Amino acid sequence: MNIISLKYSGIQVFTLLFLFSVIKINTQDAIKIDPEHYKVELENDQVRVLRINYNAGESSKMHTHPEGVAVLLTKHTASMKTGEGKTLKIQGNSGDVLWVDKTKHEPMNIGDTSFKVIQIELKNNTKAAGKKSLHLFKLPDDVSEKQVSDFLKEMNHAISEEGYPEAGYHLYKIAENNDYSYFMEGVWPDSATYDKIHNSEKWKAVAEKGKEMIDKIRTQELYMKAEKVN
């Protein structure tokens, strides 16, 4: 095991840490993997805000985070095992505000006191959208905009619980078009993730609840799949 001891400021340490921790494998959501140390304070279509708390000596399991911002609430010293198998010793100061890249790690509090962090995870970053599904449609007479919006929120919650908070659906109203009134966009990191989500039990359960409504929409929608051109 390679151990690298870093004694720079919190910002320098975390910059190095996240450069080492580029994700190249399936997402392992912190909330799903380690709910003891990670709690959701707020979540919407744009962000998810986590409250992180480790008592002295406590450690986590290997997990991932999308890119975002971390606000350190306490001074701390921690050991961080990266997705590449390295172990880094890091130090942070209360009040540090840090940009964090998409990362995979396994933290451990090696200090004498607890450390607390607020982490703001960004959703649906364009860099993550390697695949999209596109739906143009008019609302059926017995389906409301709110019903569709509420259904997509429930669907996005299920996708996030599967460990993919950067993926999901977005509903737009078209300002001027005689053929279609709404545009629904599905955003996916890649084809493999798209298939995995659509085969997950949580996604299937929510999809079954909204099947009758979606079947009505599909009778007159224009549906396309798109891949990102590199």
CATH at residue 116: 2.60.120.10
Coarse DSSP helix, strand, coil percentages of the chain, rounded to the nearest 5 percent: 25, 35, 35
* CATH code, domain carrying 212: 3.30.70.100
Cα of first residue to Cα of last residue in the chain, in angstroms, is 36
**47 and 132 belong to one structural domain:** no
Q: Do 159 and 207 fall within a single domain?
A: yes
Are 7 and 116 members of one domain? yes
The residue among 122, 153, 174 that closes a domain is 122
- Structural element, H or E, at residue 208: helix 201-209
The whole-number average pLDDT for the span 102-126 is: 86
Q: Using CA atoms, how far apart are residues 73 and 10, in angstroms rounded to an integer?
A: 12
Please return the burial class of 100, using the count of CB atoms within 10 Å of its CB with bins 0-12, 13-18 and 19+: buried
pLDDT for residue 35? 93
Considering the domain architecture, whether residues 104 and 209 belong to the same structural domain is answered as no
pLDDT above 70: percentage of residues in the chain: 84
Are residues 101 and 17 in contact, defined by beta-carbon separation less than 8 angstroms?
A: no
* 134 and 163 housed in the same domain: yes
Residues 115 and 168 in one domain: no
Q: What is the mean pLDDT of residues 155-184?
A: 85
Task: Say if residue 148 is in the same domain as residue 114.
Answer: no
Same domain flag for 109 and 38 = yes
Q: Do 16 and 103 have their domain in common?
A: yes
Q: Which residues pair with 128 in a beta bridge?
A: none
Angle at 161 between CA 183 and CA 187, to 5 degrees: 25
The per-residue pLDDT for 14 is 38
Q: Are residues 88 and 42 in the same domain?
A: yes
Domain boundary among 94, 122, 150: 122
Are residues 130 and 117 part of one domain?
no
Which of 214 and 177 is assigned the larger pLDDT? 214
The range of the structural domain enclosing residue 86 comes to: 3-122
Average pLDDT over residues 1-23: 34
DSSP, collapsed to helix, strand or coil, labels residue 7 as coil
- pLDDT of residue 171 exceeding 60, the answer is yes
Say yes or no: 59 and 130 in one domain. no
Q: How confident is the model over 122-145, as a mean pLDDT?
A: 80
pLDDT over threshold 80, residue 210: yes
Last residue of a domain, one of 122, 145, 162: 122
Give the number of domains in the chain: 2
Backbone angles phi, psi at 187, to 5 degrees: -115, 130
Please name which of 11, 13, 63 lies closest in space to residue 38, comparing C-alpha atoms: 63
pLDDT value at 227 more than 90:
no
Which residue, among 214, 222, 224, 209, has the nearest Cα to 140 in the 3D structure?
214
What gap in Å lies between CA 124 and CA 189, rounded to an integer?
Answer: 9
| Mean of per-residue pLDDT scores for the chain | 82
